[in-house]
Amino acid sequence: MLGRTANDLFWMARYMERAENMARLLEVGHRLSLLPHEDGGQEWRSTLQSAGCEASYIASHDTFETREVVDYLLFDKSNPSSVYCCLSTARRNGRAQRTAITREMWESLNGAWIEFSRSASENVASDALPALFDRIRDRSALFRGALLNTILRNDTFYFTQLGTFLERADNTARILDVKYYVLLPQNELVGGGLDSAQWAAMLRSVSAHRSFRWVYRDAFKPWHIADFLILNPQMPRSLHSCYAEIMQALSGLSQSYGLETSCQALAGTMLSRLKMLDMPGIFQAGLHEFLRDFISDNSRLAYEIAAAYHFND
Amino acid sequence: MAFDEMHGRGRSRRCRTPYRAMATWLDGQTSEQLTTRRQQAEALFHRTGITFAVYGTEEAEERLIPFDIIPRVLSAAEWRRLAAGIEQRVRALNAFMYDIYHRQEILRAGRVPADIVIQNAAFLPEMLNVDPPRGIYSHIIGVDLVRTAENEFFVLEDNTRTPSGVSYMLENRETMMHMAPDLFSRNRVAPVEQYPEELRATLESVAPAGLDRDPVIVVLTPGEHNSAYFEHSFLADRMGVELVEAHDLVSTETGVMMKTTQGLRQVDVVYRRIDDSFLDPLAFRPDSVIGVPGLFEHYRAGRVTIVNAPGSGIADDKSIYTYVPEIIEFYTGRPSILKNVLTWRCRRPDDLAYVLEHLPELVVKEVHGSGGYGMLIGPTSSRAQIEAFRAKVVADPARYIAQPTLELSTCPTVTDEGVAPRHVDLRPFVLLGDRMRLAPGGLTRVALKKGSLVVNSSQGGGTKDTWVLED
Amino acid sequence: MRIVVEHRTRYRYEAPAAYSAQLLRLTPAVFDGQKVIDWKVDSQPATPLREGRDGFGNITHFLTVNRPHEGIEIVASGTVETADTAGVVAGLSEVVPLAVYLRHTPLTEPDAAISALAEALPASERVPWLHALMAAIRERVAYVTGVTGTETTAAQALAAGQGVCQDHAHIFIAAARQAGVPARYVTGYLFLDDPDHAVAHHAWTEAWVAGLGWVGFDAANGVCPTEHHVRLAAALDARYAAPIRGMHRGGAGESLAVEVKVQQTTPQQ
């Protein structure tokens, strides 16, 4: 496979995943902004941080008005992480590799783009936003489904998996890190109490507010959220799950190419750390520090994958 | 009255033998049924087109050159004669290229004027003394033919550089088999679906000598913005080879390498769909960004094969065209089986005088034009159009050649007024490697406008499935 | 005459280049008037040079550097033994049909002024005619550096009335071909007794004369090549015969330094 092809497949999957994550973040932000007693501006600021777009937003905006933030994250063509740009880039990558992907994948990519590119800020009323967020998630699910159902389990598959799960891991880690202090056990001890709106929002942004209750039943504590999103292997957006998928894809690659690279070692170290650690240990060493290191290791892995498989030679 | 592929010529309107089964089928179709089938065909094209068209719906129109559902049919005997003529022509043109890039015997013998080769922009001095594998320059050729009578076929043009359209030939057949399987059960139609396999076999057969592995083949495209990108990706996909752009390749001391996920991998055959002058900035245009530096150097040294060879455009240059009969005789010792169209070269004073006197009867073309533009069709032009064109020819005679207006054969075609005759041409596709491979039939282009002789898709032309019946 | 040549070409990049490829024509030809005692072409960073021949029979070296590098240095050096043959180039293996050397190229396309220059010469035998052409060009185009560049055409140089050896050669070629005389561009080195006036890197022409074969004309100096001329490559024009043609990716801020040393030496006893 051409290095360029691998690069395009990786980023195609990564941008589709990012579009979906963006829709979730927006959905939650939008919901919080509707609640009384919340500082809407501060919430949007957190959303922008989770999306990794805070600095670029501030450079071009003065306030954190709901509609301005929503437009920036949905439609802004100058924001490479806006849903508009994510879908456009994903489609462009897929189109460049039209012969490497299946017809179903192409049609789902193309369909998502055509549908979304027809909606523009001025013709989406505020009360139509939740429905739009839903459709973005549906489109992403359709793409994942087409991919999983039709693609050959060879390097094409592995590179798309890597793109998906590196992006997802990054996203989950950022969501946790932006509000990590809400999850600290001592927060409860010092009387901060359980800020239900805050942690519910966090769970919603990874589509886990219902499954969380099922897993932890009645005895949950806020720090269980961190456990759920970091260490729980059943939770499909947890860091642990993401790294189990990443490891599988990397093993698939090393088997089919007959070659181990430094990526397998790095991902292996990260996965075994996630398996070995427990929450008290993480809290003791510092949740924020743990997440910061994780985000940086995660992007280092992406970089090493690109180098090891000659994405941009 | 033009010769009709189905009914021949004259008043009797008897159905010609190859069309008998088709005629019965057509008789059984109401015009509503034909219209429905035509719509079905378009829907199918949209769908299969989308399979490969890299474009979204807003851009898909580009692919949709109108498709007519009534096939053009050639008998086995007709095809055998055409095939023999095409084969002779293709071999002679390759021998010609080998010669002019080596000792130039044909120029020394005075059979072709030296200056039309030596001063020709399509003649590449860089190719002097290059020995391409098997001595072949043009491996993939599309010969444009027209028919004027039962036994009268003429060559309009030899496309020896990068003929396109073969993907339409394949998709037309695919669509036709979906649409009218009953027609295929009544006729023994020679298949064309093996073309991608044969293309691959042809490319493999011209890989550099002495490889101890299967040759690695790539299709080199200028990129997705090229108008033929659909065909580039279609052919790469059907052959199961990589579709590469210039920056996917790099020259090292070993050869031309492809940048893969497993590092550099040597490439043996480059089926390029980019023009000579852009191939390699070290050898040709230094400003080319769609070429591969060093590609030509490795080609010269026999470490990679470029298909078609650089400089193969010399064989389809319009100024060389008029000499092809001499070229065939010189290299094969036999007269040309297929005829050329009589051509006047306006650069010659005598020819120019004749042309200016007979403009209303002639077709006048620009020597370097293509796509049916910059051309006068005397009989269908107004007096004002003719006079305007006369001024252009007088101003720069060397730019023009003229030919008699050929009454291209017609073929029944579904039109808004029902089934009616429309003029057609034929482009068979030839592959030359370890042996010659000729796809039976080729691409039939049809002028959809009543009475029009211009079959180019850019000017209202469509295509038809083309059948060669087996005995 | 025994001549020692050392020809260094240095490319430097302010930001490292990721990839470079170069095609070199830096190896002297062998013929009756010229023997190569020893010769080598080296590069830095060290990379294997692939030797080949171009379509005109010139020896080429192809080099690529496919890793980050801050520059490339190419050194062509060796010893050549020359003899004065009154400009006649005999004993060279000719691989290209003569007619090819009548081809006009973008750099040598004749215009009305070039045709007029050729037509104004007195009709005579070919050799005196070529000498007259050489004299006429010298008279019309003064040797001045910095006015013309590598892309200057023959017509432009003649119109400017100033130029360097490349321009003299191109005008000569354009006029000769226009008159039906096969002509070609030659690159090489020139040994001068007076080192202060060294134009070590040089170019001239060869024209075909029936009965004699190829005969050299150094229009810039108004002489037929002597034993002071070391002949490298010959082709249709300066672009086809270029001693170095290269490209690089990355590597902003390119600078180029060329240094040619041409000296006479006494043969070892």
Nearest CA in chain B to A110: B56
Contact B308, B137 (CB under 8 A): yes
Average pLDDT over residues B263-286: 94
A171 and A65 belong to one structural domain: no
Distance of alpha carbon B219 from alpha carbon B271, whole angstroms: 5
What pLDDT is recorded for position A189? 55
Q: In a mutagenesis test of the A interface, which of B55, B242, B262, B267 is the best target, namely the one with the most A β-carbons within 10 Å?
A: B262
3-state secondary structure of B51: helix
Ranges A79-93, A113-127, B354-368, most confident: A79-93
Interfacial C residues in 45-64 facing B (CB < 8 Å)? 47-50, 52-57, 60, 62-64
Decide which of A103, A126, A151 is a domain's last residue. Answer: A151
Residue B459 sits at φ, ψ, to 5 deg, of: -130, 50
Distance of alpha carbon A84 from alpha carbon A113, whole angstroms: 8
B397: tokens are: 């005679």
3-state secondary structure of B412: strand
Please report, in angstroms and rounded to a whole number, the separation of the first and last CA atoms in chain B: 30
Distance of alpha carbon C247 from alpha carbon B294, whole angstroms: 10
Distance of alpha carbon B141 from alpha carbon B390, whole angstroms: 34
What single letter denotes the amino acid at residue B46?
H
Domain regions of chain B by residue span: 17-188+315-341+407-468, 209-303, 344-404
Distance of alpha carbon B376 from alpha carbon B363, whole angstroms: 6
Q: Give how many domains chain C has, as a whole number.
A: 2
Average pLDDT over residues C171-181: 96
Distance of alpha carbon B55 from alpha carbon B63, whole angstroms: 9
Measured between beta carbons, the chain B residues lying within 8 angstroms of A107 are 50
A196 and A53 belong to one structural domain: no
What pLDDT is recorded for position A38? 61
Distance of alpha carbon A164 from alpha carbon C139, whole angstroms: 74
- Using a CB–CB cutoff of 8 Å, tell me whether C150 touches chain B: no
Measured between beta carbons, the chain B residues lying within 8 angstroms of C57 are 129
Contact A3/B248, CB-based, under 8 Å? yes
Residue A297, pLDDT > 80, answer: yes
- Using a CB–CB cutoff of 8 Å, tell me whether B236 touches chain A: yes
- Using a CB–CB cutoff of 8 Å, tell me whether B262 touches chain A: yes
In what helix (H) or strand (E) does residue A175 lie, and over which residues does it extend? helix A155-178
C169 and C106 belong to one structural domain: yes
A105 and A221 belong to one structural domain: no
**Cα atoms found within 13 Å of the Cα of residue C68, Cβ hemisphere only:** 4
A131 and A172 belong to one structural domain: no
Angle at C107 between CA C106 and CA C111, to 5 degrees: 80
What pLDDT is recorded for position C195? 63
- Using a CB–CB cutoff of 8 Å, tell me whether B151 touches chain A: no
C199 and C143 belong to one structural domain: yes
Residue B59, pLDDT > 50, answer: no
What pLDDT is recorded for position B460? 76
Task: Closest CB to B118: pick one of C52, C56, C100.
Answer: C100
Distance from CA of A6 to the nearest CA of B (A): 7
Measured between beta carbons, the chain A residues lying within 8 angstroms of B224 are 95-96
Contact A114/B58, CB-based, under 8 Å? yes
What pLDDT is recorded for position A184? 77
**Cα atoms found within 13 Å of the Cα of residue A97, Cβ hemisphere only:** 26
A49 and A132 belong to one structural domain: yes
- Using a CB–CB cutoff of 8 Å, tell me whether B57 touches chain A: yes
B390: tokens are: 């006369």
The percent of residues in chain A predicted with pLDDT above 90, rounded, is: 61
Radius of gyration over every alpha carbon of chain C, rounded to an integer in angstroms: 19
- Using a CB–CB cutoff of 8 Å, tell me whether B337 touches chain A: no
Contact B128/C56, CB-based, under 8 Å? yes
- Give me the torsion for CA of C10, C13, C16, C22, rounded to 10°: -50
C139 and C27 belong to one structural domain: no
What single letter denotes the amino acid at residue B70?
I
Average pLDDT over residues A262-291: 93
Contact A142, A237 (CB under 8 A): no
A88 and A213 belong to one structural domain: no
* B378 backbone φψ class: left, alpha, beta (φ>0; ψ -120 to 50): alpha
In what helix (H) or strand (E) does residue B84 lie, and over which residues does it extend? helix B76-100
Nearest CA in chain A to B237: A99
Measured between beta carbons, the chain B residues lying within 8 angstroms of A4 are 245, 247-248, 259
Q: In what order do the strands lie in the sheet with B256-260?
A: B249-251, B256-260, B263-266
Distance from CA of B336 to the nearest CA of A (A): 42
Distance of alpha carbon B279 from alpha carbon B296, whole angstroms: 8
A137 and A175 belong to one structural domain: no
Contact B248/A310, CB-based, under 8 Å? no
C97 and C230 belong to one structural domain: yes
Contact B261/A91, CB-based, under 8 Å? no
B293: tokens are: 């530096």
Q: Give how many domains chain A has, as a whole number.
A: 2
Residue B62, pLDDT > 70, answer: no
Write the pLDDT tens digit of every residue in B160-208: 999 989 999 998 998 899 888 888 988 899 999 999 999 999 999 999 9
Contact A196, A158 (CB under 8 A): no
Write the pLDDT tens digit of every residue in B103-136: 999 999 999 999 999 999 999 999 999 999 999 9
Average pLDDT in chain C: 92
Measured between beta carbons, the chain C residues lying within 8 angstroms of B292 are none
A310: tokens are: 């000659």
Task: Closest CB to B250: pick one of C19, C52, C245.
Answer: C19
CATH number of the domain encompassing residue C111:
3.10.620.30
Distance of alpha carbon C12 from alpha carbon C16, whole angstroms: 9
Mean pLDDT lowest among A79-93, A217-231, A262-276, C244-258:
A217-231
C59 and C136 belong to one structural domain: no
Residue B358 sits at φ, ψ, to 5 deg, of: -115, 20
Contact B260/A1, CB-based, under 8 Å? yes
- Using a CB–CB cutoff of 8 Å, tell me whether B249 touches chain A: no
Average pLDDT over residues A134-153: 94
Chains with ≥3 CB–CB distances under 8 Å to B: A, C
Contact C109, C153 (CB under 8 A): yes
A307 and A191 belong to one structural domain: yes
A107 and A223 belong to one structural domain: no
What pLDDT is recorded for position B380? 86
Q: In a mutagenesis test of the B interface, which of A88, A93, A99 is the best target, namely the one with the most B β-carbons within 10 Å?
A: A99
What pLDDT is recorded for position B53? 42
Residue A10, pLDDT > 60, answer: yes
Task: For tokens 């691989």, name the residue.
Answer: C95
Residue C149, pLDDT > 70, answer: yes
What pLDDT is recorded for position B35? 85
| Nearest residue to B244 (alpha-carbon basis) of B267, B277, B211 | B267
CATH number of the domain encompassing residue C75:
2.60.40.2250
What single letter denotes the amino acid at residue B7?
H
Interfacial B residues in 83-142 facing C (CB < 8 Å)? 103-104, 107-108, 114-115, 118-119, 123, 125-130
Contact B301/C66, CB-based, under 8 Å? no
**Cα atoms found within 13 Å of the Cα of residue A24, Cβ hemisphere only:** 26
Residue B24, pLDDT > 70, answer: yes
What single letter denotes the amino acid at residue A179?
K
Write the pLDDT tens digit of every residue in B228-245: 888 898 899 999 999 999
Q: Can you give the residue range of the structural domain that contains A72?
A: 1-151
C180 and C210 belong to one structural domain: yes
What pLDDT is recorded for position B182? 86
3-state secondary structure of B43: helix
Chains with ≥3 CB–CB distances under 8 Å to A: B
Average pLDDT in chain B: 90
Distance of alpha carbon A258 from alpha carbon B437, whole angstroms: 39
Measured between beta carbons, the chain B residues lying within 8 angstroms of A96 are 224
Contact C247/B282, CB-based, under 8 Å? yes
Average pLDDT in chain A: 89
C105 and C78 belong to one structural domain: no
Q: Which residues pair with B242 in a beta bridge?
A: B218
- Using a CB–CB cutoff of 8 Å, tell me whether B253 touches chain C: yes
Contact C55/B118, CB-based, under 8 Å? no
Measured between beta carbons, the chain C residues lying within 8 angstroms of B286 are 245, 247
Write the pLDDT tens digit of every residue in C199-215: 678 999 999 999 999 99
Number of A to B CB contacts under 8 A, please give it.
58
Distance of alpha carbon B154 from alpha carbon B147, whole angstroms: 6
Residue A191, pLDDT > 50, answer: no
- Using a CB–CB cutoff of 8 Å, tell me whether B177 touches chain C: no
Neighbouring C-beta atoms of residue B231, cutoff 10 Å = 21
| Nearest residue to A174 (alpha-carbon basis) of A84, A222, A271, A242 | A242
Distance of alpha carbon A240 from alpha carbon C184, whole angstroms: 72
Nearest CA in chain C to B297: C62
Interfacial C residues in 102-131 facing B (CB < 8 Å)? 102-104
CATH of B344-404, one of 3.30.1490.270, 3.90.1150.10, 3.50.40.10, 3.30.830.10: 3.30.1490.270
State the DSSP string of chain C: -EEEEEEEEEEEEEEEEEEEEEEE--S---BTTEEEEEEEEEEES--PPEEEE-TTS-EEEEEEE-S-EEEEEEEEEEEEEE---TTEE-SPPP-S-GGGGG---TTT---HHHHHHHHTSPP--HHHHHHHHHHHHHHHSEE-TTSS-TT--HHHHHHHTEE-HHHHHHHHHHHHHHTT--EEEEEEEE--SSGGG---EEEEEEEEETTTEEEEEBTTTTB---TTEEEEEEESSTTTT-SEEEEEEE--SEEEEEEEEEEEEPPP-
Contact B260/A2, CB-based, under 8 Å? yes
Q: At what angle do helices A103-118 and A83-96 cross, to 10 degrees?
A: 150
C186 and C68 belong to one structural domain: no
Show Cβ contacts of residue B288 under 8 Å, excluding neighbours closer than 6 positions.
Answer: B277, B278, B279, B280, B281
Task: Closest CB to C103: pick one of B104, B119, B251.
Answer: B119
Handedness of CA A194, A195, A197, A203 (dihedral sign): negative
A253 and A207 belong to one structural domain: yes
C251 and C128 belong to one structural domain: no
| Nearest residue to B425 (alpha-carbon basis) of B19, B142, B231 | B142
CATH of B209-303, one of 3.40.50.11290, 3.40.630.10, 1.20.200.10, 3.10.580.10: 3.40.50.11290
A235 and A258 belong to one structural domain: yes
**Tell me, what's the ipTM?**
0.93
- Using a CB–CB cutoff of 8 Å, tell me whether B28 touches chain C: no
Distance of alpha carbon B176 from alpha carbon B464, whole angstroms: 9
Show Cβ contacts of residue C90 under 8 Å, excluding neighbours closer than 6 positions.
Answer: C31, C32, C33, C213, C214
Q: Can you give the residue range of the structural domain that contains C176?
A: 88-235
Q: Does residue B159 have a cis bond before it (omega within 30 degrees)? A: no
B280: tokens are: 């390699």
Task: Closest CB to A3: pick one of B55, B237, B261.
Answer: B261
